[in-house]
Structure 1
Amino acid sequence: MQLELRHLQAVCRIAEAGSLGGAARRLGVSQPALSAQLRRIERVTGGELFVRGRSGVEPTALGQFVLAKARRVLSEMDALGAEARAIDTGTPLRLGCILLVLIDGLLAETDLFRSGQEITVDLEDSVTVLARMLGAGRYDAIVYGEVNDHEVVLPEGALARTLIPKEPFCIRLSARHRLAGADRIELADLAGESWMTLVVDDDGGPEALVAACAKAGFTPSLRYRITDRKMHYDLIAAGRAISLSQPTAPAAEGTVMRPLVGAPVTGRIRLAWSRSAVSAGQAELLYRAAARAYVANVGNNAFHKEWWDAHPEVHPAAD
């Protein structure tokens, strides 16, 4: 038997999972089948690659040697595929996103930076779906958000880079609201309001809102979940709801946006890509395009521009 890429992948998955059972689940095979495959691999390499320890399996000295070589080979193969796609400008780069403020600007930026290669873009309501589609090869890269401490689980073979590590969410409310004239709003003063929940409900947003409101002494009434922007804004303008919002969001007639005291809910924006489909150079271009698109919206609200200027540590490498 000669070693194949699937054998190297199996060895790496066993090391990453720390157990044959965990690796089998990741690979989608039975544990007995993986054990038999490992024995065949060990016959080719000339000795045991793993031994059982207190917390699972651990690589032997030979195993560590094989792992190092396997990771290098797999990395080179991923790079080969990604760089070949980059050269073949007839192959579109497939980008999946949730509805973030920067998306419109990102499309214009990618048209500028990726001249000669088509880019397709799909919007999803679910971060979980985005990650799953990235793992399934439906998307080559995704742009998504996470709220407070929530972390999106990415598939095997994905790399990620944080675009914006922190942005304080604000409140959008009717221009006729009793608090519309306030410079900043205490979350506790919004008890009893009807809330428009975030469009994406699996990025940690609703949980973060509920937790923040609990600390402020009340339970929010999550009454609406509207994906249509115009209807979303119209309901708020009519005084029927309020909502959390990205601080870079544009103005909407009949509504105002105000920061929350203490910034109890914050978000971050990340870019993830398949290392076998997107080269390092492509990933850098996408990152810079997304960064420029975000920065272009910073001035939409004066309070966020002031916060942004005071926090250079959160600025992306846009230049």
Structure 2
Amino acid sequence: MELELRHFKIICAIAEAGSITRAAATLGLAQPALTAQLHRIERALGGPLFERDRRGARPTPLGELVLSRARLLLPAVSGLREEAARLANSAARPGDTPTRLRLGSATGPVLGGLVHQLTAAYPDLQVTPHVSWSSEDLAAMVAEGRVDYTLVGVCGDAPPPARPGLTWRTLATDPVFVLLSDQHPFADSDAVELADLADVHWGATPGDGCFADCFAAACARAGFTPRTLYETDVVSCIDLVESGDAVVLCQPMFRRMPGIVAVPIAGNPLRWRNLVGWHPESPTAAFSDQLIKLASAAYLDIIARSPRYTAFLERFPTFGVERYEQAV
């Protein structure tokens, strides 16, 4: 049997998990299938790689040798793939206006507006969007050269997704509003106290950051523990609000719909930073200033269509779009 990269990934996964069973769960394999694969790898290498008993799996001296090589090999191959993808996936030379642009985006209102701004400014530009709820996945796509830029959000002062080598700029900082039925007692309020919603169920779109923890901490400061936080897609969140089953945490630019309103939370206890990320060595990196400028314009257009958020920003000018000169 010829050894392949996947075999070295298996060896590392078993060593990190400390057992065949836990490694199988991590890799999404059945335990017997992983055991059979390990036996084939051991035969190819000439001896056992792990001592296995009821306490788990520990590397043998041969296993330690193979692991030391695998831990050098796998990152090197991953880095090669990332660099190759960044070059192969763009026909433009560094500094050129790109002929195509691949945009990643988490859930949020800006992507459509940015696509409009890009295609209006550059009619021949081919824009391809990629959407994911996971900011970490989107950052990985940028690092691996599968998208050129990504729009993600992070809670408060949380750092960007932990992918080394990427450049991040803040596009805007927003408060978190609550989405209510227009029949709700607080629907016409200038702001609603978080404590006044202590007995409701909650909804939000999913994410992989610290937002749920920050929300729980804000509720604790307001004197209560939230009953439930349903993490689901936008359409289901709207259904929950319309049915009166939940109050949904939302971005303030949420476009008003019949029967639904977005209301500020008194004291603005939760903030959301919208970021643009890219790899500084990608062929499209020189386009970053223009992309941020167009993303800012898209954001301002969205705010202009939200009278409630426009009025809010007049009272709280520290929120909203970053000045473009500061962002670049």
With the length of structure 1 as denominator, give the TM-score of the two structures: 0.69
Aligned equivalent of 2:186: 179
* CA gap 1:214/1:278 in 2 versus in 1, 3 angstroms: farther
1:143 aligns with 2:137: no
* CA gap 1:221/1:82 in 2 versus in 1, 3 angstroms: farther
Aligned equivalent of 1:51: none
Matched ranges for 1:162-241 at <5 A: 162-164=170-172, 166-197=173-204, 199-227=205-233, 229-241=234-246
Q: Summarize deviations over 1:177-210 as a string: whole Å, max 9, x none.
A: 222232210000100101002x232132212211
Picking from 115, 126, 130, the partner of 1:118 is 126
Aligned equivalent of 2:255: 250
SS in 2 for 1:84: coil
What displacement does 1:109 show? Answer: 0.7
Q: Summarize deviations over 1:106-139 as a string: whole Å, max 9, x none.
A: 1101112333231211110111111112112211
Aligned equivalent of 2:38: none
What is the root-mean-square deviation of aligned Cα atoms in Å?
Answer: 3.1
* CA gap 1:303/1:278 in 2 versus in 1, 3 angstroms: farther
Q: Which runs of 5+ in 2 are unaligned?
A: 1-67, 77-82
* CA gap 1:106/1:86 in 2 versus in 1, 3 angstroms: same
Paired residues of 2:206 and 2:231 also in contact (CA < 8 A): no
- Give the counterpart letter for 1:84 in structure 2: R
Instruction: State percent identity of aligned pairs.
Output: 26
Aligned equivalent of 2:164: 156
The separation in 2 between residues aligned to 1:28 and 1:295, in whole angstroms, is: 47
The separation in 2 between residues aligned to 1:109 and 1:124, in whole angstroms, is: 21
Paired residues of 2:180 and 2:187 also in contact (CA < 8 A): yes
* CA gap 1:186/1:88 in 2 versus in 1, 3 angstroms: closer
SS in 1 for 2:93: helix
Picking from 293, 315, 318, the partner of 2:298 is 293
Aligned equivalent of 2:115: 107
Paired residues of 1:170 and 1:257 also in contact (CA < 8 A): yes
The separation in 2 between residues aligned to 1:88 and 1:184, in whole angstroms, is: 45
The separation in 2 between residues aligned to 1:314 and 1:143, in whole angstroms, is: 16
What displacement does 1:270 show? Answer: 0.7
What displacement does 1:212 show? Answer: 0.5
Q: Summarize deviations over 1:82-127 as a string: whole Å, max 9, x none.
A: 960564855x321110121122111101112333231211110111
Paired residues of 2:279 and 2:285 also in contact (CA < 8 A): no
- Give the counterpart letter for 1:292 in structure 2: A
Q: Which runs of 5+ in 1 are unaligned?
A: 1-24, 35-73
SS in 2 for 1:298: helix
1:129 aligns with 2:137: yes
Aligned equivalent of 1:4: none
* CA gap 1:280/1:193 in 2 versus in 1, 3 angstroms: same
- Give the counterpart letter for 1:95 in structure 2: L
What displacement does 1:268 show? Answer: 0.9
What displacement does 1:156 show? Answer: 3.0
Count of aligned pairs between the two proteins: 246
The separation in 1 between residues aligned to 2:209 and 2:298, in whole angstroms, is: 21
* CA gap 1:211/1:278 in 2 versus in 1, 3 angstroms: farther
The separation in 1 between residues aligned to 2:230 and 2:292, in whole angstroms, is: 33
SS in 1 for 2:272: strand
* CA gap 1:158/1:82 in 2 versus in 1, 3 angstroms: farther
What displacement does 1:221 show? Answer: 2.4
- Give the counterpart letter for 2:72 in structure 1: V
What displacement does 1:281 show? Answer: 3.8
